[in-house]
């Protein structure tokens, strides 16, 4: 098992930060999760920066897979699939003969629909000098891989992404839109949607802008090896508007809370049912993805992987577990005072709880899925007051029943995120 520790001390701004290898290994880097956080690779030019400082930035990486022992004369070959590229064409380019090419195609094709071969995917081969394949790997857009081994015993498997997350930061000045500002600064433009969704009930971002507003953003991008894969995740945004400084802190992979601050004061908090997830659809009238008509969306949607744990946002009593038309597999939790929460499209229910049970905030209710009227795995989350759906972002009744103000933990996280952002931007100079 190869364990590689990477950490940087050269560019520390704050100084005095020391850590030992044992502290590094205490980090949950070997646990399954969306990604491990790493220090950055060299920074590209432009309005963004990557973390090359110390702090928690290190990676413990394991080999791609436990490959069979290979002779020293193994030939490695890899190529990014380009437009119009076919697997057989790539294999011919790699110098494989017809038989070897057929074996590789059959092996990869047994786990992957070859019609889904797309530009940007990466094909890697290890062969003997004579072109006898040892392994073939096709890396997909999300960093997952199809690995075919040909010796000693043939096998094909699909491997989950072995991702490393890299913190990034950037600054932008708004001219006409958030989208345009992000684009001009080299910051992922999808964050304009994240901002719009999370601020939906705070103010209308589009009408609040007069131009010249300054913004700072911190996010994570994901890398498999040296390739950026999947979609980046926004963690923090600071917006300097006419009426004050707004700061938004999104939940990390271990938390469910979003905080919106104005001039350093907590303006709003929001507890969400999936740790680290991002909103994908707002409450209210919107174009329905299946029916293609404007409909009332009675809750919030969160982007979630199939099987992601779904947790109760507040303490309460389990009121319903089962099927509801359109909603698929659902859990409903009663919080008293006529307030209920609903979690829909689940792939599985938690067997350990049943209707009537009293549960605490954070109790796992089930797993995210795509049951009912749904095109892809996501979580639909509703808050109902007196049986009527209300906007989960705007309604304070659920919050008043429980968590209320920011906890010490989330305040600490906010200050650590902000100091990290400062350091990242200072590196860029
Ligand atoms: Zn929904």
Interval 351-378 mean pLDDT: 95
Any idea which residue has 């029943």 for tokens?
A: 401
- What's residue 247's pLDDT? 95
pLDDT at residue 21, rounded to an integer: 26
- The answer as to whether 219 is a domain residue is yes
Q: What is the pLDDT of residue 151?
A: 81
Within-domain flag for 174: yes
**pLDDT tens per residue across span 92-144:** 999 999 999 999 999 999 999 999 999 989 999 999 998 899 999 999 988 88
Confidence class of residue 14 from pLDDT cuts 50, 70 and 90? very low
pLDDT band at 66 (very low <50, low <70, confident <90, very high): very low
Instruction: Say what the pLDDT of residue 203 is.
Output: 79
* C-beta neighbour count of 426 within 10 angstroms: 14
pLDDT at 28 over 60: no
Q: For residue 320, give the CATH number of its domain.
A: 2.70.70.10
Distance 302 CA to ligand 1 centre (A): 8
Q: Kindly give the distance from the C-alpha atom of residue 350 to the centroid of ligand 1, in angstroms, as a whole number.
A: 21
Q: What is the CA(257)–ligand 1 centre distance, in A?
A: 19
Yes or no: say if 182 and 174 are a contact pair by the CB < 8 Å rule: no
Ligand 1 centroid – CA 314 distance (Å):
19
Query: Hey, what are 282's tokens?
Result: 């707002």
Clarify whether residues 241 and 113 are in a common domain.
no
How many whole angstroms separate alpha carbon 144 and alpha carbon 140? 5
Q: What is the dihedral of CA 305, 308, 312, 318, to 10 degrees?
A: 110
Same-domain check for residues 127 and 181? no
Q: How far is the CA of 346 from the centre of ligand 1 (A)?
A: 12
Q: Tell me the CA–centroid distance for residue 353 and ligand 1, in Å.
A: 24
Q: pLDDT-derived band of residue 29, with 50, 70 and 90 as boundaries?
A: very low
| Pair 141, 176 in one domain | no
Same domain as 128, residue 170: no
Portion of the chain with pLDDT greater than 90, in percent: 53
Q: What is the pLDDT of residue 50?
A: 53
Residues 341 and 79: their CA atoms lie apart, in Å, by 49
CATH of the domain at 40: 3.10.450.350
The answer to whether residue 58 sits within a structural domain is: no
Residues 39-52 pLDDT 10s: 443 333 334 555 44
Task: Please report which confidence band the pLDDT of residue 313 belongs to, taking 50, 70 and 90 as the band edges.
Answer: very high
Q: Which residues of 191-210 are buried (b: 16+ CB within 10 A; e: fewer)?
A: bbbbbbbbbbbbeebeeebe
Same domain for 305 and 387: yes
**pLDDT at site 402:** 53
State yes or no: pLDDT of 355 exceeds 60.
yes
Query: Do 327 and 394 belong together in one domain?
Result: yes
State both tokens at 316: 């309460």
Domain end: 159, 177, 200, which one?
A: 159
CA of 73 to the centre of ligand 1 (A): 55
Q: What is the DSSP letter of 371?
A: -
Dist CA 203 CA 185 (whole Å):
24
- How confident is the model at residue 312, as a pLDDT? 96
Shared domain for 201 and 232, answered yes or no, is: yes
Q: How far is the CA of 294 from the centre of ligand 1 (A)?
A: 13
Q: Tell me how crowded residue 175 is: count the other CB atoms within 10 A of its CB.
A: 12
Residue by residue, DSSP assigns 57-78 as: ---EE--SS-PPP--TT-EEEE
In whole angstroms, give the CA distance from residue 196 to residue 198.
6
Please tell me the predicted confidence (pLDDT) of residue 200.
Answer: 84
**CA-based max dimension of the chain:** 75
CB burial readout 25-59, b (16+ within 10 A) else e: eeeebeeeebbbbbbbeeeeeebbbbbbbbbbbbb
Q: Are 112 and 138 in contact (CB under 8 A)?
A: yes
CA of 297 from ligand 1 middle (Å) equals: 6
Residue 309 has pLDDT above 80, yes or no: yes
What distance, in Å, lies between the first and last C-alpha atoms of the chain? 39
**H-helix or E-strand spanning residue 13:** none
Residues 224-281: pLDDT tens digits?
A: 888 888 889 999 999 999 889 999 999 988 889 999 999 988 888 889 999 999 999 9
Q: How far is the CA of 259 from the centre of ligand 1 (A)?
A: 22
Task: Tell me if 52 is assigned to some domain.
Answer: no
Higher pLDDT, 208 or 199: 199
Q: Quick one: pLDDT band at residue 428, thresholds 50, 70, 90?
A: low
Q: Which residue(s) pair with 49 in the sheet?
A: 169
- pTM for the whole structure: 0.71
91 C-alpha to center of ligand 1: Å? 44
More confident residue, 310 or 38: 310
Binned at pLDDT 50, 70 and 90, residue 401 comes out as: low
Structural domains in the chain (count) = 3
Q: Flag whether 61 is in a domain.
A: no
The whole-angstrom separation of Cα 43 and Cα 176 is: 28
Domain span including residue 186:
164-272+407-428
Q: Do 370 and 293 belong together in one domain?
A: yes
Among 330, 341, 141, 329, smallest CA distance to 256 is for 341
Confidence check: pLDDT of 376 > 70? yes
281 Cα to the center of ligand 1, angstroms: 7
Residues 228 and 198 in one domain: yes
User: Does some domain include residue 20?
Assistant: yes
Res 279: pLDDT: 92
For residue 53, being part of any structural domain is answered with no
What is residue 22's predicted lDDT score, i.e. its pLDDT?
A: 27
Mean pLDDT of the chain: 81
The CA 373 to ligand 1 mean position distance, Å, reads: 9
pLDDT exceeding 70 applies to what percent of the chain? Answer: 79
pLDDT beyond 60 at 212: yes
Residue 10 pLDDT grade (very low, low, confident, very high; cuts 50, 70, 90): very low
Which pLDDT does position 113 carry in this prediction? 93
Q: Are residues 374 and 305 in the same domain?
A: yes
pLDDT value at 54 more than 50: no
Tell me which of 130, 159, 188 is where a domain ends.
159
In terms of domains, do 104 and 248 share one? no
Q: What pLDDT does residue 407 have?
A: 56
Please give the distance, rounded to the nearest whole angstrom, from the Cα atom of residue 382 to the centre of ligand 1: 8
State the distance from the centre of ligand 1 to the C-alpha of 207, rounded, in angstroms: 26
Gap between the Cα atoms of 87 and 138, Å rounded: 10
Q: In this structure, are 234 and 348 located in the same domain?
A: no
Highest mean pLDDT out of 23-27, 202-206, 382-386: 382-386
pLDDT one-digit tens code per residue, 280-305: 998 988 766 667 778 889 999 999 99
pLDDT tens by residue, 165-175: 999 999 999 99
Domain limit, last residue, from 118, 138, 159: 159
2-16, 234-248, 301-315: least confidently modelled range? 2-16
Q: Yes or no: say if 368 and 305 are a contact pair by the CB < 8 Å rule.
A: yes
Parallel, antiparallel or unpaired: strands 309-311 and 122-127: unpaired
Residue 60: inside a domain, yes or no? no
């Amino acid at each position: 098992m190869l364990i590689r520790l990477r950490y940087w001390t050269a560019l520390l701004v704050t100084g005095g930060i020391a850590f030992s290898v044992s502290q590094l290994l205490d980090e949950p880097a070997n646990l399954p999760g969306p990604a491990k956080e790493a220090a950055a690779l060299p920074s590209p030019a432009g309005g963004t920066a990557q973390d090359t400082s110390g702090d928690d930035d290190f990676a413990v990486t394991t080999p791609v897979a436990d490959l069979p022992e290979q002779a020293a004369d193994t030939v490695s070959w890899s190529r990014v699939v380009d437009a119009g590229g076919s697997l057989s064409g790539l294999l011919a380019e790699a110098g494989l003969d017809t038989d070897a090419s057929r074996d590789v195609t059959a092996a990869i094709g047994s786990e992957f629909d070859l019609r889904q071969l797309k530009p940007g995917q990466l094909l890697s081969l290890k062969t003997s000098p004579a072109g006898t394949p040892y392994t073939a790997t096709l890396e997909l857009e999300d960093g997952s891989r199809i690995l075919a081994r040909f010796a000693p015993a043939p096998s094909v498997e699909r491997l989950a992404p072995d991702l490393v997350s890299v913190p990034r930061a950037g600054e932008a000045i708004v001219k006409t839109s958030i989208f345009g500002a992000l684009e001009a600064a080299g910051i992922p433009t999808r964050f304009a949607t994240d901002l719009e969704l999370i601020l939906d009930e705070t103010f209308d971002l589009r009408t609040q802008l007069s131009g010249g507003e300054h913004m700072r953003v911190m996010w994570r991008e994901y890398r498999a090896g040296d390739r950026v894969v999947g979609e980046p995740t926004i963690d923090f945004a600071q917006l300097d508007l006419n009426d004050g400084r707004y700061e938004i802190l999104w939940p990390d992979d271990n938390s469910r809370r979003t905080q919106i601050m104005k001039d350093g004061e907590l303006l709003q908090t929001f507890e969400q049912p999936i740790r680290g997830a991002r909103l994908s659809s707002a409450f209210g009238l919107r174009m329905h993805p299946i029916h293609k008509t404007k409909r009332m969306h009675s809750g919030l949607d969160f982007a979630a992987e199939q099987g992601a744990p779904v947790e109760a946002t507040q303490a309460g009593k389990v009121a319903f577990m089962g099927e509801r038309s359109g909603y698929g597999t659902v859990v409903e939790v009663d919080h008293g005072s006529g307030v209920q929460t609903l979690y829909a499209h689940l792939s599985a229910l938690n067997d350990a709880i049943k209707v009537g049970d009293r549960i605490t905030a954070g109790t796992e209710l089930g797993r995210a899925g795509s049951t009912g009227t749904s095109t892809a795995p996501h979580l639909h989350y509703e808050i109902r007051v007196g049986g009527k759906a209300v906007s989960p972002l705007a309604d304070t009744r659920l919050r008043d029943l429980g968590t209320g103000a920011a906890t010490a933990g989330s305040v600490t996280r906010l200050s650590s995120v902000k100091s990290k952002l400062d350091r990242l931007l200072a590196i860029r100079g």
